[in-house]
Amino acid sequence: MASYQSYSFFDENSCIIAWFGTMTNIEEQKQALAKKDEFIGIASHELKTPLTSLKGYMQLISAYKQNELPPIIKQFAGKANEAIGKLANLVNDLLDVSKIQMGKLEFNTSLLNISDLINICIESAQFMYPNYIISVHGDKDGRATGNMERLEQVLMNLISNAVKYSPVHKDIHIVTEVTETEVKVSVEDFGIGLSDYQKERIFERFYRVEDNTYATSGLGIGLYISSEIVKAHNGKIGVTSKLNEGSTFYFILPIHE
Ligand code: ADP
C-alpha cells in the first residue's frame, strides 16, 4: 500500500508558487514498526529481571557499614544508583510501550487535586533541574479523576522535555486553567520550538525531530506514552509552538464534579 502526499507553497496573493508530491510505501513502514514493537516487548521484559536484582544489590551495598566506607566508595555508589535510576526509567518506558501495544496499560483511578499533582512534580523538577526557574501560574484547585502516578509521569515528561529542548532560556512556566468542565495544565518553554510539520508527528511512537544543529539523546517514546495515558483518562494532549521561540505542551482532563 502506498500513501500519497502533496505540498503546496503560496505567495502573498495565495497563488501556488511551488508544488511537490511524495509516495511512501506504508506497508513496509508498518512492518518495520511491528518488528520494532516485537523487539521492544521481548527486550524490555528480559532487561527488567537483572535490573531488579542490580537495584537490590546496590541497596545492600549502599546500606552496608556506612560509617566504615571511604567517602570515595560512597560517591561511586551514589553515581551507580543514579545510573541505575536512569536505566530503570528507560526500561519502564519500553515496558509501557509494549503494554500499550497489547492494550494493557491498566491503572486504578481516584479523585485527585491538580494542585497536589503540580506540587509533587515541581518539587521533583526543582531538585532535578536546579539551573531552571520553574514557576506556577493560574488557578490550581481543579479536581479530576485519575491515577496520580501516571499523571505525574505525563507532567514530568513534559517538564523534562521543556528542559531538554530549551538549553539556553531557563524559564519554564506551569500554567493551570480550570473551567466548569475541564482542567488544563500547560508547560511552556522558550526553547528550540517546533515547525508545523514536526508538530503533527511528535506524539507518534519512535518519532524524533531530525535536527543536525541540535542533537539530544532519547527514544522518541515519552510523548507517545504521555498521550496514551491522557487518552486513557478521557483527556486531550496537544502542543502550540513556534520554531526557535518555544513550545507549550498541554493536557486537558475532564473535571470531577
Ligand atoms: P525524546 O525526547 O526521547 O526524543 P519524546 O517522545 O519525549 O521523545 O519527544 C519526541 C520529539 O518531540 C523529540 O525528539 C523532540 O524533537 C520533540 N519535542 C518534545 N518536547 C519538545 C519541546 N519542549 N520543544 C521542542 N521539541 C520537543
Our answer on whether the CB atom of 144 is closer than 6 Å to any ligand 1 atom is no
Our answer on whether the CB atom of 146 is closer than 6 Å to any ligand 1 atom is no
SS3 per-residue string spanning the chain? CEEEEEEEEECCCCCEEEEEEEEEEHHHHHHHHHHHHHHHHHHHHHHHHHHHHHHHHHHHHHHCCHHHCCHHHHHHHHHHHHHHHHHHHHHHHHHHHHHHHCCCCCCCCEEEEHHHHHHHHHHHHHHHCCCCEEEEEECCCCEEEECHHHHHHHHHHHHHHHHHCCCCCCEEEEEEEECCCEEEEEEEECCCCCCHHHHHHCCCCCCCCCCCCCCCCCCCCHHHHHHHHHHHCCCEEEEEEECCCEEEEEEEEEECC
Ligand 1 midpoint to CA 14 (Å): 32
Our answer on whether the CB atom of 239 is closer than 6 Å to any ligand 1 atom is no
Our answer on whether the CB atom of 162 is closer than 6 Å to any ligand 1 atom is yes
- Looking at residue 37, what is its pLDDT? 87
The owner of cell 528507560 is 90
Ligand 1 midpoint to CA 161 (Å): 6
Our answer on whether the CB atom of 191 is closer than 6 Å to any ligand 1 atom is yes
Residue nearest to atom 3 of ligand 1 (CA): 218
Residue nearest to atom 20 of ligand 1 (CA): 161
Give the CA count within 13 Å in the CB-facing half-sphere of 12. Answer: 0
Contact, 224 vs 245, CB < 8 A? no
Ligand 1 midpoint to CA 148 (Å): 23
User: What is the C-alpha to C-alpha distance for residues 192 and 33, in angstroms, rounded to an integer?
Assistant: 28
Our answer on whether the CB atom of 163 is closer than 6 Å to any ligand 1 atom is no
Q: Enter the pTM of the model.
A: 0.85
- Looking at residue 67, what is its pLDDT? 83
Our answer on whether the CB atom of 209 is closer than 6 Å to any ligand 1 atom is yes
Ligand 1 midpoint to CA 185 (Å): 18
Ligand 1 midpoint to CA 223 (Å): 7
- Looking at residue 213, what is its pLDDT? 65
Question: For every one of its 257 residues, what pLDDT tens digit does the chain have, with 9 covering 90 and above?
Answer: 555 666 667 777 777 777 766 666 788 888 888 888 889 889 999 999 999 999 999 988 888 888 888 889 889 989 999 999 999 999 999 999 999 988 988 899 999 999 999 999 999 999 999 999 999 999 767 899 999 999 999 999 999 999 999 999 999 999 999 998 999 999 999 999 999 988 989 999 888 887 766 667 888 899 999 999 999 999 999 999 999 999 999 999 998 76
